[in-house]
Every structure is written in structure tokens, then in C-alpha cells.
Amino acid sequence: MKKLYLLAILTLAVVILLAGSVLAAELNPTPDNPVTIRIGTTDQKDDLAVGLEYTMCKVFESMVETNTGGAIQVEVFPSGQLGGLMSMLEATQGGQMEAVTGTAAIPSFYPAWQVFSIPYLFQNSDIAMAVMNESDFMLDLYEDMRKETGLRVLGVAQNGFRHFTNSEREIRSPEDLKGLKFRVMQGPIYQKVVEAAGGTAVPIAWSELYTALKTGVVDGEENPISSVVLGSLYEVQDYITLDGHLWSENFLVINDDFFNSLPNKYQVVIKEAGKAAATAGTTSETIKSYITGVKILQDNNMKIYKPTPEELEVFRNTAQPPVIKWLKDEIGAELVDGMIETVEEYTEKLGY
């Protein structure tokens, strides 16, 4: 019995020593004994000016590996190799992978993330990016999310302003949306926005969208120009109205426990790389939408309409009140009012 007891004690001691060695390796990565960050995206591996999330991942990879001297390696897994966005977020939260980029899925983990999904909230991307990455309001929100979920925000890029497309008629007012069915992403906020603006919302997966448009299951959809191009939706849609009813994000988040296990000097590198990745992702989206994207739409005879400020005001006055009321019921009036006040502050601050 005594021998068995001593054996158990020795075994436990060995396990503790091994665990300590692993922990030491994680806390003190070196070029000879590096730590790996696995980052996943559903975005396809593509030209850096086309793959928005992929661009973010590659900038992050290069900066982290270069500025840590190879002590931290980054493995990028595009095209959903590590699963769908929801499963990758769950894996990142649980520590089975380290980081992920994506759009729109975080509200399932942290409902307050919907706070910037107020229709016609941002006048332009300059205001949106400043609010999302610089404002105390959003930085406080990210900190609260970190504490609640264990997901640390490293950067937020622009996925694009969402616009209405359809195959029936040009849209210049909320009245023009009536009687039309629009595909929306999964998630109640998208349905609320489209219905508040005057259309009928039908949740359909991205993979099924092209066929749904082609066969007339829905008349239209709402997406950034970059996504319209990505899905070749110009082949089955005749009109696009650049109303920008929603600004959508590409987030970059990392497991907070993993982040905190690293030496401070490497935490600084990761933070810097996250900010640079967000800037690169936004630039990538702008190139894809307004340099290559618009030309592709024009070359395929898609009719592009940009509403006047007066027309946008009608859209705003129609769509905002019901969505704001719904959001206040969902996440609280204080958060929603704080978001609106912050946008107004930065709109004035930036001279718009």
C-alpha cells in the first residue's frame, strides 16, 4: 500500500512538472520554441484586395510573426476550414483555437453587440471607423464583452454599408420597398431593419441566395457592393440603391485567457497587429466596393441609384424609430442612447 501511495505521489509530481513546463513554454515563447495562433475565417483565400477577412488575417500574421521575431507563429485557416463562423467563435471562446474574424455572429454570444445596428446610423465610413475603434463608448463595450465572454476585440474593420438590390424596380423611397421580398441574414436585427424600411424580410443562407434570387423565391437582398460582386448577384439583380441602411463590421477577436498568458511585450505586438489588420480590412473593402466593384456592376448593366440627402432622410425617419424601440427592449435604452450620442459627437468632431 505504501509503495502504491509513493508511486501515486511521484506520478502526480511528474504531471505537475510537465504541466509547469508547458505553461512556461506558453508564457515564454521563443523563435526556437514558438507559440502558434490559429486564426479562422469563412472568407476565401484570394487576392488581398478582394478577400476582406483574409486580408485582415494575413496582415495580422505578418505583423505578429515579424515583430515577435518568430516567437509567435500565426496559422491562417480560410474558407471555413475550421468550421462555420458560429462554431469558430465557440471554439475561440472555449480555447480550442485562438482567434477568428467574421461579421454579424457575435450577438448570439453578447447581445449588446447589436447596438450599432441602427439603420442609417453612420453617415460614412470615416465616422463609423472612428466610433468603432476610438470612442470610449465602444471601448467600454468591448471591455464588458471581454469580461462576459472571454473574447477580446483586437480590431473592427468595415465589412461595408449594406444596400438594397432587386430585380423589379428602382428604389427611391420606402414606398418602393413595399410588396418586395428581400433576403436577409440570419438574425432578428436584419429582419427588423428591412421590415421597418418597408420591405418583407426572408432569412436565407448565403449559400442559397443566388438560387433564391434566380428562381424568384425573393425579389431582392441587401448587402455591401463587395458582397454583391463576390456572389455574382449582378447576374440575377437589375437594380441597386446605395442607401447604406446598415453599416456592417468585420471583427477580429482572440481568446482572452490565451492573450493574457503571453508576455506583455507580445501582447503589445498583438494589439498593434489587430489595429493594423482592421485598417487593412477596411481599405480592402473600399477597393473592392468602389474601385473594382462599381465597375463590375456597371459592366453588367446593373442600374445604380444613389439617393439624395432628402430621400435618405425619409428612409431614416421611417426605419429608425421602430428599430430603436426594438433595440431598447432587447439591450436597454442606456446603451442605445449612448450609441446615438456617440455617433452624433463623432460626426461633429470629424466635421461632418
- pLDDT tens digit sequence for 234-276: 999 999 999 999 999 999 999 999 999 999 999 999 999 999 9
CA atoms of 266 and 21, how far apart (whole Å): 19
40 pLDDT higher than 80: yes
Overall pTM surpassing 0.85 (yes/no): yes
Domains, in order of start, for the chain: 110-270+283-349 (3.40.190.170)
Q: List pLDDT tens digits, range 162-204.
A: 999 999 999 999 999 999 999 999 889 999 999 999 999 999 9
Residue 199 C-alpha cell reads as 420591405
Cross-strand partners of 30:
33
Whole-angstrom Cα distance, residue 251 to residue 34?
Answer: 26
Quote the DSSP letter at residue 290: I
What is the band of 48 on the pLDDT scale with cuts at 50, 70, 90? low
Identify whether the C-beta of residue 43 lies closer than 8 Å to the C-beta of residue 51. Answer: yes
Name the residue among 199, 218, 198 with its Cα closest to residue 208.
218
pLDDT in tens, 98-124: 999 999 899 999 999 999 999 999 999
Residue 110, all three cell numbers: 453578447
Q: Is the pLDDT of residue 22 over 50?
A: no
